[in-house]
Chains A and B, each alone.
Chain A
């Protein structure tokens, strides 16, 4: 049915335009309902034992992710600054979304052993005199837990941790929390040398801001770029504006689809409009180029539209199918962020194909058509002639051409593939100079890394962690972590028990009797130890803070720790790592799987489609060669630039194949068309002469459009843009040189798809 659309549109242009306009208006009305989601959940595999353990840990100990406020001042421990700090804490405590505040003012002091039982708060009220403030500083720096966690080791910076009352998956709440915190700390900006917030609300707020900024910059830039490029390459205002019209309609359709199906705008789906603009323009270009050629050949407008529909209508359907398939594969990913991207992008490109097939013939029939032929462009003509000359020259030795291009790409791709480093981490989404990264780095330098996970310890026998042996094991486990070299700090119940034990002048690091541990626990309010122990003491959590962000580094580091922990774990205890960042880290296998599935599906579908199109599986397989070769350039680029395989870059390979196949289909179809009337060499020559312009135009538009993504605020998106551009640019080389060479050496007798109708594609 879909291939009849352009014919219907050509014969009913006003109905077609009205239909698209009505649907687009309806879609525009729904656009405001699209939700935004920046939850980390989308980067994790939603099911499985690891996920269950994390959810259980979160239910027992609370989420390890919080909001935090970093305060730095060379005179931090002075009466004036401590008074300001106290005021800040009080202001935060009354914020509706703040459940509790952990600060120097909530910390318990553990003074050295004496005849006095004394575990007072470190500071109750800000001291009035410098000597008292300095005494507080001395106690804070001598504290067994605070240095490196709540206070910097030089006493010039402190951290305020906020536990928030919010559903972490509720975007609005989380952003409101960020705004509320920002509003509070704004008033203290001139009272400290430096003050800023970090943590989940800040990351979510920045993510949304970056997405909005990207959309505000990249969509207009992509539109302008496509317009200028097509103006230059096609020499026609109409040829340049038509892709923007169809893209606008299909972007609105896609956003309406997202609103209807609950697909949110995420750090991946937000680039779908740009992709529609860039990728969607290729079909318009092929259609318009055909129309322009027919007009230039002297066809009347109606005839030119009919010729366009006949010659490239079906090819556009097939190329759209392969492009959509390139994205559709990701819909089945277990990673929500990938499946949402796959669904919205494949719908968007399908919508674009439909809009294009309906709207372009209709618009070409009704829009003014003053100029029958584009104005001559010396540069364009010369470039076209030069490329054609090169193609002709290489076709004299087709095997050599194939070997000359294919072998280096295969070698580079093989080496690159073996060097690709999978990596999936939340902070890796942001540019190195973004405030999220620079603040995280500063926190790491002054206190502890912002990256956290938990070591979950469970008692599995009759004993609980009040047993001195199990408590000692927990403490040993902390030592193992802290001596790993990459862990900044660990905090757990053993720290508190050890501190109280020392305050009582006990021997050794930890008490050796269950009674003593139980008595010490009486001095801790449940809120003090809630993040570290269940109330029955059967499970404990050691909170680990570090700055190791790359999964490529974290995975082996954790494996080493697991081995070391296994050696000290008693038979009636169990130790395991859990946490959001680890779940994101573990999802890397899903990312790799996603890449393999994506490439597999698009290769299979494209092969079958082309096999069907040319009624020969051999033809289908051969046609895939020039489309798979660009992966060599893609993997090579990944290897030499250090771009990791992540949730965004894992889609580049399949997307590139899906796009590269488009030109191959056009080339094979056109060759089949001419082969029905000419000898193989002549048919190839005619095909190349006719298609160089649209193929080069679409490639340059695609490559430039993808390169535009380099300016994204999100690193994986920027990397995706570069890789796609490299692959697509390579694809045009293989399509222009390898494809005709392959046709000549392997398929000189290729048959047109429709028997008895050598003059038409349909």
Chain B
């Protein structure tokens, strides 16, 4: 799964005990199970560098899934004051590249994020823009690599590899997902580079049930082995009940400054 997006947007759902499944079926079932129509999450990010020095940031993320199962999301930094209002807007598309726009208050306009930036880090975190994109299941081949146990719970080991068309666009040769069988929760993700070197490890924690089927993980800890850096995510609050208006995900909403209220 795609880390932050996955952490926030998908997963963690209750475990329907399914008969023997293929990896694709598992991932698809996970997607369906944990999908929420509307979700607003406030989270703290703690970034730790090689020397142990920390930087903290707070952001608010709004997600809306349409009837077409396509998502729109808006990430807005609220703390520290220097970067308050910096925002990233994402629209998922079927069959084509997703759109991303960046808003910097000091520039006062939206800039479309070029697709070439997918493997750059997102705002100093250890997530890349690629990680921030919702997963299009068609862009990956999933392979069941075995089973393991985490805290006594049996988990699938699934390797997700970009399809040939996506291979050059992805920073990863594969991602290894450790998904709990029962609730289809993703506990751990390992990211491998093109030389099959381990680039990052993400460990999720504090599962929280949202409704009958959907769950969320309230913490994530990404260790960036390549650059010796860590990002810790803590969910401060989550709202899934109010319906987000489509206009929330529009240029106008941002440029008029309402997005920060």
Task: Give the chain A neighbours of B102 by CB distance below 8 A.
Answer: 117
Q: Is B4 an interface residue (CB 8 A)?
A: no
Bound complex: CA A94 to CA B198 (Å): 9
Q: Is A600 an interface residue (CB 8 A)?
A: no
A516-B106 CB under 8 A given contacts A115-B111, A121-B119? yes
Q: Is B18 an interface residue (CB 8 A)?
A: no
A518-B82 CB under 8 A given contacts A62-B50, A100-B227, A524-B124? yes
**The residue from B49, B107, B113, B195 contacting A116, defined by CB atoms under 8 A apart:** B113
Q: Is B117 an interface residue (CB 8 A)?
A: yes
Task: Give the chain B neighbours of A536 by CB distance below 8 A.
Answer: 53
Is A530 in contact with B49, judged by CB distance below 8 angstroms?
Answer: yes
Nearest-neighbour CB distance to chain A for B255, whole angstroms, equals 15
Binary flags per residue of A44-63, CB closer than 8 Å to B gives 1, else 0: 00000000000000011010
A527-B197 CB under 8 A given contacts A117-B111, A511-B106, A522-B83? no
**The residue from B51, B111, B195 contacting A93, defined by CB atoms under 8 A apart:** B195
Is A535 in contact with B105, judged by CB distance below 8 angstroms?
Answer: no
Is B120 in contact with A120, judged by CB distance below 8 angstroms?
Answer: yes
Bound complex: CA A124 to CA B77 (Å): 28
Tell me the residues in window 520-537 of chain A with beta carbons closer than 8 Å to chain B beta carbons: 521-527, 530, 534-536
Is A522 in contact with B112, judged by CB distance below 8 angstroms?
Answer: no
Is A124 in contact with B124, judged by CB distance below 8 angstroms?
Answer: no
Is A118 in contact with B106, judged by CB distance below 8 angstroms?
Answer: no
Q: Is B93 an interface residue (CB 8 A)?
A: no
Bin chain B's interface residue count: 35 or more
Binary flags per residue of B74-103, CB closer than 8 Å to A gives 1, else 0: 000100101100100000000000000110
A116-B114 CB under 8 A given contacts A93-B226, A100-B227, A466-B82? yes
Q: Is A597 an interface residue (CB 8 A)?
A: no
Task: Give the chain B neighbours of A511 by CB distance below 8 A.
Answer: 106
Count of A-B contacts judged by CB separation below 8 Å: 113
Binary flags per residue of B101-144, CB closer than 8 Å to A gives 1, else 0: 11011110001111011111101101000000000000000000
Bound complex: CA A62 to CA B112 (Å): 36
Tell me the residues in window 524-581 of chain A with beta carbons closer than 8 Å to chain B beta carbons: 524-527, 530, 534-536
Q: Is B171 an interface residue (CB 8 A)?
A: yes
Bound complex: CA A593 to CA B107 (Å): 59
Nearest-neighbour CB distance to chain B for A677, whole angstroms, equals 79
A124-B113 CB under 8 A given contacts A519-B105, A521-B124, A526-B47? no
Q: Is A698 an interface residue (CB 8 A)?
A: no
Q: Is B54 an interface residue (CB 8 A)?
A: yes
Is A513 in contact with B106, judged by CB distance below 8 angstroms?
Answer: yes
Q: Which residue of A lies closest to B118 (CB)?
A: A120
Is A100 in contact with B124, judged by CB distance below 8 angstroms?
Answer: no
Bound complex: CA A515 to CA B84 (Å): 9
Is A115 in contact with B120, judged by CB distance below 8 angstroms?
Answer: no
Is A120 in contact with B116, judged by CB distance below 8 angstroms?
Answer: yes
Tell me the residues in window 169-198 of chain B with beta carbons closer than 8 Å to chain A beta carbons: 171, 193-195, 197
Q: Is A372 an interface residue (CB 8 A)?
A: no
Is B113 in contact with A117, judged by CB distance below 8 angstroms?
Answer: yes
Q: Is A387 an interface residue (CB 8 A)?
A: no
Q: Is A504 an interface residue (CB 8 A)?
A: yes
Is B50 in contact with A530, judged by CB distance below 8 angstroms?
Answer: yes
Is B194 in contact with A90, judged by CB distance below 8 angstroms?
Answer: yes
Is B86 in contact with A118, judged by CB distance below 8 angstroms?
Answer: no
Q: Is B229 an interface residue (CB 8 A)?
A: yes
Q: Is B55 an interface residue (CB 8 A)?
A: yes
Tell me the residues in window 434-489 of chain A with beta carbons closer than 8 Å to chain B beta carbons: 466
**The residue from A117, A513, A524 contacting B117, defined by CB atoms under 8 A apart:** A117
Q: Is A81 an interface residue (CB 8 A)?
A: no
Is A118 in contact with B229, judged by CB distance below 8 angstroms?
Answer: no
Nearest-neighbour CB distance to chain A for B181, whole angstroms, equals 32
Task: Give the chain A neighbours of B51 by CB distance below 8 A.
Answer: 59-60, 530, 535
Tell me the residues in window 24-60 of chain B with beta carbons closer than 8 Å to chain A beta carbons: 47, 49-51, 53-55
Q: Is B168 an interface residue (CB 8 A)?
A: yes
Is B117 in contact with A118, judged by CB distance below 8 angstroms?
Answer: yes
Q: Is B228 an interface residue (CB 8 A)?
A: yes
Task: Give the chain B neighbours of A120 by CB distance below 8 A.
Answer: 114, 116-120
Is A526 in contact with B229, judged by CB distance below 8 angstroms?
Answer: yes
Task: Give the chain B neighbours of A515 by CB distance below 8 A.
Answer: 82-83, 105-106
Bound complex: CA A325 to CA B119 (Å): 66
Task: Give the chain B neighbours of A523 by CB distance below 8 A.
Answer: 120, 123-124
Q: Is A596 an interface residue (CB 8 A)?
A: no
Q: Is A514 an interface residue (CB 8 A)?
A: yes
Bound complex: CA A91 to CA B197 (Å): 10
Task: Give the chain A neighbours of B50 by CB distance below 8 A.
Answer: 62, 527, 530
Bound complex: CA A527 to CA B50 (Å): 8
Bound complex: CA A99 to CA B228 (Å): 8
Nearest-neighbour CB distance to chain A for B4, whole angstroms, equals 15
Binary flags per residue of B203-231, CB closer than 8 Å to A gives 1, else 0: 00000000000000000000010111100
Bound complex: CA A519 to CA B124 (Å): 11
Task: Give the chain A neighbours of B126 by CB distance below 8 A.
Answer: 525
Task: Give the chain B neighbours of A93 by CB distance below 8 A.
Answer: 193, 195, 197, 226
Interface centre among A91, A93, A515 (most CB of B within 10 A): A515
Q: Is A370 an interface residue (CB 8 A)?
A: no
Is B106 in contact with A535, judged by CB distance below 8 angstroms?
Answer: no
Task: Give the chain A neighbours of B53 by CB distance below 8 A.
Answer: 534-536
Bound complex: CA A518 to CA B107 (Å): 12
Bound complex: CA A123 to CA B95 (Å): 25
Bound complex: CA A519 to CA B102 (Å): 11
Interface centre among A91, A519, A523, A535 (most CB of B within 10 A): A519
Q: Is A225 an interface residue (CB 8 A)?
A: no
Q: Which residue of B lies closest to A522 (CB)?
A: B123
**The residue from A91, A116, A118, A125 contacting B194, defined by CB atoms under 8 A apart:** A125
Bound complex: CA A527 to CA B226 (Å): 9
Is B120 in contact with A519, judged by CB distance below 8 angstroms?
Answer: no
Nearest-neighbour CB distance to chain A for B55, whole angstroms, equals 5
Is B168 in contact with A125, judged by CB distance below 8 angstroms?
Answer: yes
Nearest-neighbour CB distance to chain B for A562, whole angstroms, equals 28
Task: Give the chain A neighbours of B121 by CB distance below 8 A.
Answer: 525
Task: Give the chain B neighbours of A527 by CB distance below 8 A.
Answer: 49-50, 224, 227-229
Is A100 in contact with B228, judged by CB distance below 8 angstroms?
Answer: yes
Bound complex: CA A466 to CA B197 (Å): 35
Q: Is A712 an interface residue (CB 8 A)?
A: no
Nearest-neighbour CB distance to chain A for B211, whole angstroms, equals 34
Is A504 in contact with B120, judged by CB distance below 8 angstroms?
Answer: no
Is A117 in contact with B123, judged by CB distance below 8 angstroms?
Answer: no
Bound complex: CA A526 to CA B83 (Å): 16
A115-B106 CB under 8 A given contacts A59-B51, A62-B50, A94-B197? no
Q: Which residue of A lies closest to B52 (CB)?
A: A535
Bound complex: CA A19 to CA B220 (Å): 71
Task: Give the chain B neighbours of A522 by CB distance below 8 A.
Answer: 77, 83, 86, 123-124
Is A90 in contact with B124, judged by CB distance below 8 angstroms?
Answer: no
Task: Give the chain A neighbours of B224 by CB distance below 8 A.
Answer: 527
Nearest-neighbour CB distance to chain A for B105, whole angstroms, equals 6
Nearest-neighbour CB distance to chain A for B151, whole angstroms, equals 30
Nearest-neighbour CB distance to chain B for A168, whole angstroms, equals 15
Q: Which residue of B lies closest to A503 (CB)?
A: B111
Bound complex: CA A115 to CA B105 (Å): 16
Q: Which residue of B lies closest to A118 (CB)?
A: B114
Task: Give the chain B neighbours of A513 by CB distance below 8 A.
Answer: 106
Task: Give the chain A neighbours of B55 by CB distance below 8 A.
Answer: 526, 535
Which residues of A come within 8 Å of B, CB atoms?
A: 59-60, 62, 90-91, 93-94, 99-100, 108, 115-121, 124-125, 466, 504, 511, 513-516, 518-519, 521-527, 530, 534-536
Q: Which 4 residue pairs across A and B have the least CB separation, nearest first?
A: A518-B82, A90-B195, A527-B227, A118-B114
Which residues of B come within 8 Å of A, CB atoms?
A: 47, 49-51, 53-55, 77, 80, 82-83, 86, 101-102, 104-107, 111-114, 116-121, 123-124, 126, 168, 171, 193-195, 197, 224, 226-229
Q: A100-B228, A117-B101 are in contact. List 4 more A-B contacts (CB 8 A).
A: A93-B195, A118-B113, A118-B116, A519-B83
10 contacts between A and B (CB under 8 A): A100-B228, A116-B113, A118-B117, A522-B83, A522-B86, A523-B124, A525-B124, A526-B49, A527-B49, A530-B50
